Amino acid sequence: MLVACILSLRTQDTTTGPAAARLFAVADTPAAMLRLPAQRIETLIYPVGFYRTKARVIRGICRDLIDKFHGRVPDEIDLLMTLKGVGRKTANLVVTEAFAKPGICVDTHVHRISNRWGLVKTATPDRTEIALREVLPRRHWLEYNGILVAFGQTICHPTSPWCSRCKIADLCPRIGVVRSR
């Protein structure tokens, strides 16, 4: 989950899935991954975005997992964020998806829509995640990302949301929306 999340950054899901499958078919533990030269990882994960950088990040993470965490991925956000290349979004995704622990995974869709709704007033996804922890009931944390990503891809688009088709238009203050359909 951790490595797949690194691969997915700035990359389409349709590219991430096959790249992860190719990589894990060759190496599915931190030790096995470290036995691969960075160039081999690059070849396996190409064409994910920033594949050269990601190959080095993945090797660095695997080295840290072995050196600091006995080869196991930690299940706490703060510990995950000590791994180079792991930010809040990735850390939250790992604790929620891999460990089913409370967390809110905030990507660009969750950040944008939460601000349009006025649920938070924040400038970055990291700030949104921290603000959501205060206002979003905990029972919705795990499902929130999946719902808003689907909603953001289909209705509440980044540049011109489909407000005329939106089922919750009556409830939405549309904060920051300058153009809509």
Site residues, ligand SF4 (CB under 6 A): 116, 155-156, 161-163, 166, 168-169, 172, 174, 177, 180
Shortest approach of ligand SF4 to residue 157 CB, angstroms?
8
Backbone phi, psi, residue 2, to 5°: -65, -50
Cβ closer to ligand SF4: 38 or 177? 177
User: Could you say which of 89, 121, 126, 167 is catalytic?
Assistant: 89
Q: Which CB sits closer to ligand SF4, 61 or 120?
A: 120
75 as an active site residue: the answer is no
The answer to whether 167 is a known catalytic residue is no
Taking the complex as a whole, the smallest distance from the CB of residue 165 to ligand SF4 amounts, in Å, to: 8
Instruction: Exactly one of 107, 121, 167, 170 is catalytic; name it.
Output: 107
Instruction: List active site positions.
Output: 89, 107
